Amino acid sequence: MSSARRSATPSGAEAAPGGAGDTPRPGALRALFVYRLISRAYFHLPVLFAFLYLHHLGIALAQTLLALYGFTVMVSGAFVGRFSAAFGPRTLLVGGEIVKAAGLLLIGTVAGGTPGLVAGQILSGFGYALTASVESPLVGVLEPDRERASKIQARTQSWIFAVVMVSGIAGAVIFQHTRLTVFLLSALACAAAATAATGVGSVRLPATRTTPNADAPAKSGGWTGGAGWWIAYYVCLRGVALAAFVGFIPYLLFVRTKVSLALFGVLLAVFNVAALLVARWTAKPLRTTPAAPLLAATLACVAASLVLLATTSRLVPVIIAIALLGLGAGAARPLTQDGLSALDGPTRGRVTVRMEQLTGSANTVVLVLGGLGLGAGHAPAVMWGAAAVVAVTGAVILAARPGARTANPAQALN
């Protein structure tokens, strides 16, 4: 390669496709697995609403700050792909974790007051957008075999739920004694994840290729075609379920029911236990049961959870509601990944990235509108409204389900 061509590579960028950096390291997939686990050590996440509420921000503002994270992920999705093309996945993983750590430190120290909290949420969301833009596509590049890649995704997701659960419980216990420590621990996890990401090597993601049908209009039905239908299901379910987990349930437990922080952490951990179990047990039903009944069951779990939360504040029904929410949200990812299995690895990765961006936008809308309702004292109405969104939208999506999946990447991306 000529010196002129070498000089065209941006400073800090990884080797261009076709160079020595194209061959994945033998341990690259293992390094990615370790990275994904460490990066999910969210010690601060279960107590983030409580942290904001204790700073007397008000319910609506606290929920809006929570929504700012998803909004940043959504907006950043429009341009983070260019960073990947210029600098490569390893740089984005490392850089994204550093940005996330900076955001967490801003939030934990409340540097700059409310503007500092806003900046911290924006940095955290932008850092996640950087890492999410390459994380899933990397699996398809490092493991081209579709079946093995799907198994890796499912196994990784199970471990991720376990890490989120353990770190969340630990964070709730620690938060009782010192608020800053949970953010410091999450920032340290970001630093450790950045270190693990260096083991991915200089592998590059394949450039998006334009197929003969790439510029053609999507077939009639839009969301009903192939991957678009799966994206609609995932965005509907996860957008509402995660808003309930991050914003609504913490409000109900911490503000209305006034449970202790230790019990608060344990109750939220029920969500992750349920999600972990269902993620590990979905493989067999996927082989023996049609997709529609499974998807209907997940939507019913989330809707029933929200109805329970709307009608009672007693401990046992609340535990059941949180478990149902975890079952529905936990099953959504393996079900959707199975639905996208006809796509090639890199395309499936790009579709997954877009799907998460749309989920961030749905999460933002639900949190902001829900925050306004909670702030006005209409908690039951917020829960009923969220349940109605899941039930009605889910019914429409199921009714519009196509008879078969599509393997057309252009239609999926459209």
Task: Give the whole-angstrom CA distance, residue 414 versus residue 359.
Answer: 17
Contacting residues for 15 by C-beta, under 8 A, at least 6 apart: 9, 21, 22, 88, 202, 204
CA distance 324 to 266: 15
Q: Is 207 exposed, middle or buried (0-12, 13-18, 19+ CB in 10 A)?
A: exposed
Is residue 184 predicted with pLDDT exceeding 80? yes
Residue 346 contacts residue 204 (beta carbons within 8 Å): no
What percentage of the chain carries pLDDT values higher than 90? 30
Q: How far apart are CA 105 and CA 189, in angstroms?
A: 12
When pLDDT is cut at 50, 70 and 90, the band that residue 412 belongs to is very low
Which pLDDT value is given to residue 7?
A: 40
The pLDDT assigned to 411 comes to 42
Rounded mean pLDDT of 348-366? 83
Within a 13 Å sphere around the CA of 292, how many CA atoms are in the beta-carbon half?
A: 11
Instruction: Find out whether 21 and 14 touch, Cβ atoms under 8 Å.
Output: yes
pLDDT in tens, 135-161: 877 877 777 666 676 677 767 777 887
pLDDT over 50 (residue 296): yes
pLDDT at 30: 84
CB atoms within 10 A of CB 405: 19
Q: Which one-letter amino acid corresponds to residue 218?
A: A
pLDDT band for position 219 (50/70/90)?
Answer: very low
Choose from 137-151, 192-206, 244-258, 278-292 the range with maximum mean pLDDT.
Answer: 244-258
* 317, pLDDT greater than 80: yes
Backbone angles phi, psi at 111, to 5 degrees: -65, 120
What pLDDT score was predicted for residue 273?
Answer: 85
pLDDT, one tens digit per residue, over 105-138 is 999 998 768 899 999 999 999 999 898 888 877 8
Alpha carbons 325 and 241: distance in angstroms, whole number? 7
Query: Please, which residues have CB within 8 angstroms of residue 107's CB and are 6 or more apart in sequence?
Result: 44, 48, 51, 116, 117, 120, 121, 124, 183
CATH class of 24-205+216-413: mainly alpha
Domain ranges of the chain: 24-205+216-413
